[in-house]
């Protein structure tokens, strides 16, 4: 669960600001190897009635800033960041800022929350490029405002209220800034969104045992996972297809992104010549496959659009070409962490391959901002696997194991914000 309401956010976090900060520091250390932007210092200054909050960051970042009421807060949303701040940084408060905290909000999203002493307006928010060996600087200027104006700014943004910088003209400032009036309830009560992707469908049946098609197994299992997760009340689960229909690979990614999914789980079941081989395996994206089987499997799964008769010659290469950009790397780390955990949970209910977590260039895992995994649930070419996957009871057990891993994933990501 994220937060019950904006009101509770303040109550939950206020008494334990230092603990949270310490957690955030540890987290930053843990992911220090990842190619993520790193905050190296925070400075606060005040002049006349203006308070300036500055974060030094190792690279240019996109960010959003908005205000919340009850209590009064200013929130800066950033990409997932490392935090290597001086030890005394928390004692630096001045001007309208009473306290602040920072850390991972959820996968891919780091957050800074400023507790302000009175209603404020965001006068300016922008990123300055490095000057003379300095870091990038995210600059936020706050000034007191009337309660009426503060509350008015909490309303949903309109084009006329779009925020403008008042004093600076760097082009960086114009990117990624939301008007200060983002509706707090919207983020506050949002359930975790998970997109389940039943592989194949319609004209593309996937593999077969002769008795059953992969596309039917994947859809039946997706429904079982959806039912299990949604019964808990914490998750909204969307399927990339609800019936036996063809959905192209890039469309599956687009669905996950359109729903702002926090996890994407693609389901498959292979069939191979060697009928004795059985067991489940979990895949995450990588340019370099962990072994030849993984590479061949990815190649096979990536042909789904081709099998369905799509003309790929007019396509851009963004999906079929497995070149991984920088933005994907942290998402990939997150995906891999989930995969490792998932294998542990699944081992309790299912036979797995040795080295059950493998890597390969699966096109469907290429959403740059959604942690994504692909589960090969077993081999339809193996009698025992096939019988298990055709059993409703087995699919329910599998759904429960996946659900436990999902719970673990989100509770770990939320520890910092509590
Ligand atoms: Zn498949």
How many angstroms separate the alpha carbon of residue 332 from the centre of ligand 1?
A: 21
pLDDT at 135: 87
How many angstroms separate the alpha carbon of residue 169 from the centre of ligand 1?
A: 51
Q: Which residue has the tokens 């979990």?
A: 282
pLDDT at 131: 79
How many angstroms separate the alpha carbon of residue 299 from the centre of ligand 1?
A: 10
- Decide if 82 contacts 32 (C-beta within 8 A): yes
pLDDT single digits (tens) 22-39: 333 333 333 343 568 999
How many angstroms separate the alpha carbon of residue 201 from the centre of ligand 1?
A: 10
How many angstroms separate the alpha carbon of residue 163 from the centre of ligand 1?
A: 47
Q: Which CATH class is domain 192-414?
A: alpha beta
How many angstroms separate the alpha carbon of residue 220 from the centre of ligand 1?
A: 14
Is the pLDDT score of 160 beyond 70?
no
How many angstroms separate the alpha carbon of residue 268 from the centre of ligand 1?
A: 4
pLDDT single digits (tens) 104-136: 767 788 888 888 988 899 988 988 888 777 789
Q: What is the mean pLDDT of residues 288-294?
A: 89
pLDDT at 109: 80
How many angstroms separate the alpha carbon of residue 200 from the centre of ligand 1?
A: 6
Instruction: Provide the residue ranges of all domains of the chain, joining segments of one domain with +.
Output: 6-188, 192-414
How many angstroms separate the alpha carbon of residue 198 from the centre of ligand 1?
A: 9
Q: Is the pTM of this model over 0.75?
A: no
- Report the topology of domain 6-188: Immunoglobulin-like (2.60.40)
pLDDT single digits (tens) 358-392: 999 999 998 888 999 999 999 999 999 999 999 99
Tally Cβ neighbours within 10 Å of residue 90. 17
Asked, as a colleague might, if the bond just before 71 is cis with ω within 30 of 0, I would say: yes
Is the pLDDT score of 1 beyond 60?
no
The environment of the single-atom ion ligand 1, i.e. residues with CB closer than 5 A, is: 199, 206, 268, 301
Is the pLDDT score of 42 beyond 50?
yes
């Amino acid at each position: 669960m994220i937060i019950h309401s904006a009101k509770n956010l303040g109550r939950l976090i206020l008494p334990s600001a230092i603990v949270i900060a310490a957690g955030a520091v540890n987290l930053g250390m843990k992911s220090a190897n990842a190619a993520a932007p790193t905050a190296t210092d925070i400075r606060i200054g005040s002049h006349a009635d203006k308070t300036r909050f500055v974060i030094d960051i190792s690279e240019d970042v996109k960010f959003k800033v908005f205000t919340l009421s009850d209590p009064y807060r200013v929130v800066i949303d950033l990409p997932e960041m490392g935090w290597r701040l001086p030890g005394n940084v928390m004692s630096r408060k001045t001007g309208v800022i009473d306290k602040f905290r920072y850390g991972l909000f959820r996968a891919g999203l780091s957050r800074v929350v400023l507790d302000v002493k009175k209603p404020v307006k965001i006068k300016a928010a922008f990123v300055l490029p490095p000057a003379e060996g300095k870091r990038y600087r995210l600059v936020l200027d706050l000034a007191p405002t009337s309660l009426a104006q503060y509350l008015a700014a909490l309303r949903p943004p309109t084009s006329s209220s779009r925020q403008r910088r008042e004093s600076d003209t760097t082009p960086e400032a114009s990117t990624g800034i939301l008007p200060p009036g983002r509706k707090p309830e919207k983020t506050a009560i949002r359930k975790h969104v998970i997109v389940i992707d039943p592989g194949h469908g319609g004209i593309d049946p996937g593999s077969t045992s002769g008795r059953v098609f992969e596309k039917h197994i994947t859809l039946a299992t997706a429904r079982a996972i959806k039912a299990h997760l949604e019964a808990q009340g914490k998750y909204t689960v969307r399927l990339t297809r609800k019936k036996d229909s063809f959905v192209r690979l890039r469309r599956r990614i687009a669905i996950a992104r359109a729903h702002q999914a926090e996890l994407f789980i693609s389901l498959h079941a292979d069939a191979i010549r060697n009928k004795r081989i059985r067991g489940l395996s979990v895949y995450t994206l990588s340019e370099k496959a962990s072994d030849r089987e993984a590479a061949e499997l990815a190649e096979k799964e990536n042909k789904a659009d081709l099998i369905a008769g799509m003309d790929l010659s007019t396509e851009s290469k963004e999906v079929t070409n497995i070149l991984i950009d920088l933005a994907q790397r942290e998402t990939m780390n997150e995906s891999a962490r989930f995969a490792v955990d998932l294998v542990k949970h699944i081992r309790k209910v299912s036979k797995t391959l040795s080295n059950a977590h493998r890597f390969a260039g699966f096109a469907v895992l290429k959403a740059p901002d959604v942690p994504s995994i692909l589960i090969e649930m077993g081999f339809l070419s193996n009698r025992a696997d096939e019988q298990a996957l055709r059993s409703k009871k087995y699919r329910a057990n599998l759904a429960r194991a996946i659900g436990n891993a999902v719970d673990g994933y989100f509770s770990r990501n939320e520890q910092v914000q509590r």
